[in-house]
């Protein structure tokens, strides 16, 4: 091997002795984004875990995701220096649900070098093809169903928001130069909460509130166990035909709710019942990303960042609307408008400045028209890419 030859190392999170490589995989972002004020990373232990705190990392084999998925990790090195990384995985629940053979790549990071990107994505493609996959799609970061899928292609100067990943502006070009094609775009918007209530929302809400059998509640009006069951049933029903959706298992969904409790303002969660049947929910969580800037004097003091974010979470100026669902049989009744009206009443009284509405597929005209009604400003755009493996 020549001094300048690029080397691709592959390893699994299930292999003993690979923890050091996994730490290098996760830690690459610190040097890669050094000096970039727009980059607000997740905590490293969210990926690697922290047993003393009972945190199970996204990449740990004991994570519930790996009960139905296989993953391999890739590092691109030259002279021992990491130049890029990505993983590849097969989500068996996805392929069972959609009856297809799609594999994914994620956690893609690389210097601006087509050779590096191509070597990583070729390695991911080869591994997925060996697993019997016919298509590679991505980037899809973990956790699936929570992290916004795709590569950021617009909004690089926008506000950081929880689970919206940030990437270098040249990534989309690199991925396309490796033979991938755009397959779907995903949008987000920012809404000024203190803008006057929209007249149309008032009319929608009043019409529905006058309808017999319609009742609206907030989180604390029922026990946690009941809320978990209601949300699980509504979510999997509501999102079942959404492009790329993968149903949660009950254990995965319960874990998501338990994690949300740390960043939840419970009055931002609204539930609608029709004739006593749970019909829809709509929820927002505090945007603690704005409280997670690494300290200049200790950028990798992860416990300090986590503690500061949780201790000061109530100072967050805004929240993320990322948790919603309307059962199919109750669609087109205007329930989303009713829930937004109820939530906005509280958010205005509580003094919130903004909310983020996101992870909206480009062809979801119903949601886009609702967002436009609220005079939202475009915030971020993500693009998902695909490449055939046959």
> What CATH number is attached to the domain comprising 87?
3.40.630.30
DSSP 252-315: HHHHHHHHHGGGB-GGG-EEEEETTEEEEEEEEEE-GGGG-PPBTTBTT-HHHHHHHHHHTGGG
* pTM to 2 decimal places: 0.93
CA distance 299 to 48: 18
Q: In terms of domains, do 116 and 137 share one?
A: yes
CA distance 119 to 117: 6
Q: In terms of domains, do 123 and 229 share one?
A: no
Tell me phi and psi for residue 322, to 5 degrees.
-130, 10
Q: In terms of domains, do 179 and 290 share one?
A: no
Q: Is residue 97 part of a domain?
A: yes
Question: pLDDT tens digits for 15-54?
Answer: 878 899 999 999 999 999 998 988 998 899 999 998 877 8
Contact indicator for 279, 273 with CB cutoff of 8 Å: yes
Q: In terms of domains, do 150 and 209 share one?
A: no
Q: Is residue 89 part of a domain?
A: yes
Q: In terms of C-beta density within 10 A (0-12 exposed, 13-18 middle, 19 or more buried), how is residue 182 classed? A: middle
Q: In terms of domains, do 64 and 201 share one?
A: no
Q: Is residue 136 part of a domain?
A: yes
Sequence-ordered list of residues with C-beta below 8 angstroms from that of 98, at least 6 positions apart, any chain: none
Q: In terms of domains, do 113 and 132 share one?
A: yes
Which residue range(s) make up the domain with 218?
194-352
In the chain the beta strands, taken as DSSP E runs, fall at 7-11, 69-78, 81-91, 102-110, 135-138, 151-154, 181-192, 214-218, 270-274, 277-286, 318-326, 354-361, 377-388
Contact indicator for 171, 151 with CB cutoff of 8 Å: yes
pLDDT for residue 373 = 86
pLDDT lower than 50: segments of the chain: 1-2
Q: In terms of domains, do 315 and 181 share one?
A: no
Question: pLDDT tens digits for 252-270?
Answer: 999 999 999 999 999 999 9
Q: What angle do CA 14, 18, 22 make, to 5 degrees?
A: 95
Q: In terms of domains, do 177 and 282 share one?
A: no
pLDDT for residue 3 = 54
**Number of domains the chain contains:** 2
CA distance 34 to 142: 22
In the chain, how long is the greatest CA-to-CA distance?
77
CA distance 5 to 1: 6
Count of CB atoms within 10 A of residue 29's CB? 17
Contact indicator for 256, 236 with CB cutoff of 8 Å: no
């Amino acid at each position: 091997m020549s001094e300048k030859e690029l080397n691709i190392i592959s390893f699994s999170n299930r292999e003993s002795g690979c923890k050091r490589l996994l730490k290098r995989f996760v830690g690459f972002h610190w040097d890669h984004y050094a000096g970039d004020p727009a980059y607000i990373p997740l905590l490293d232990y969210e990926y690697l875990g922290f047993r003393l705190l009972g945190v199970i990392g996204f990449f740990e084999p004991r994570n519930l995701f790996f009960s139905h998925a296989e993953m391999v990790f890739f590092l691109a090195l030259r002279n021992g220096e990491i130049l890029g990384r990505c993983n590849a995985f097969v989500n068996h629940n996805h392929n069972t649900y959609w009856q297809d053979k799609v594999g994914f790549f994620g956690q893609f990071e690389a210097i601006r070098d087509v050779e590096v990107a191509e070597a990583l994505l070729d390695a991911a493609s080869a591994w997925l093809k060996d697993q019997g996959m016919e298509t590679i799609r991505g980037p899809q970061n973990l956790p699936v169903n929570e992290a916004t899928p795709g590569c950021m292609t617009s909004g690089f100067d926008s506000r950081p928001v929880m689970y919206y990943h940030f990437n270098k502006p040249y990534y989309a070009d690199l991925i396309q130069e490796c033979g991938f094609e755009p397959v779907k775009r995903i949008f987000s918007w920012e809404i000024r909460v203190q803008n006057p209530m929209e007249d149309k929302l008032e009319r929608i809400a009043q019409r529905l509130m006058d309808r017999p059998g319609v009742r609206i509640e907030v989180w604390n009006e029922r026990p946690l166990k009941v809320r978990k069951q209601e949300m699980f049933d509504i979510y999997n029903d509501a999102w079942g035909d959404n492009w790329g959706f993968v149903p949660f298992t009950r254990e995965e969904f319960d874990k998501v709710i338990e994690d949300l409790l740390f960043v939840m303002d419970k009055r931002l969660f609204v539930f609608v019942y029709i004739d006593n049947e749970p019909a829809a929910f709509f929820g927002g969580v505090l945007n603690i990303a704005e409280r997670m800037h690494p300290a200049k004097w200790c950028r990798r003091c992860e416990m300090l960042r986590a503690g500061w974010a949780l201790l000061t979470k109530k100072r967050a100026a805004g929240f993320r609307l990322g948790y919603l669902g309307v059962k199919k049989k109750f669609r087109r009744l205007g329930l989303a408008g009713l829930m937004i009206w109820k939530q906005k009443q509280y958010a205005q009284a509580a003094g919130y400045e903004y909310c983020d509405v996101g992870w909206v597929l480009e062809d979801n005209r119903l949601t886009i028209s609702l967002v436009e009604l609220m005079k939202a400003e475009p915030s971020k755009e993500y693009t998902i890419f695909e490449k055939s493996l046959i």
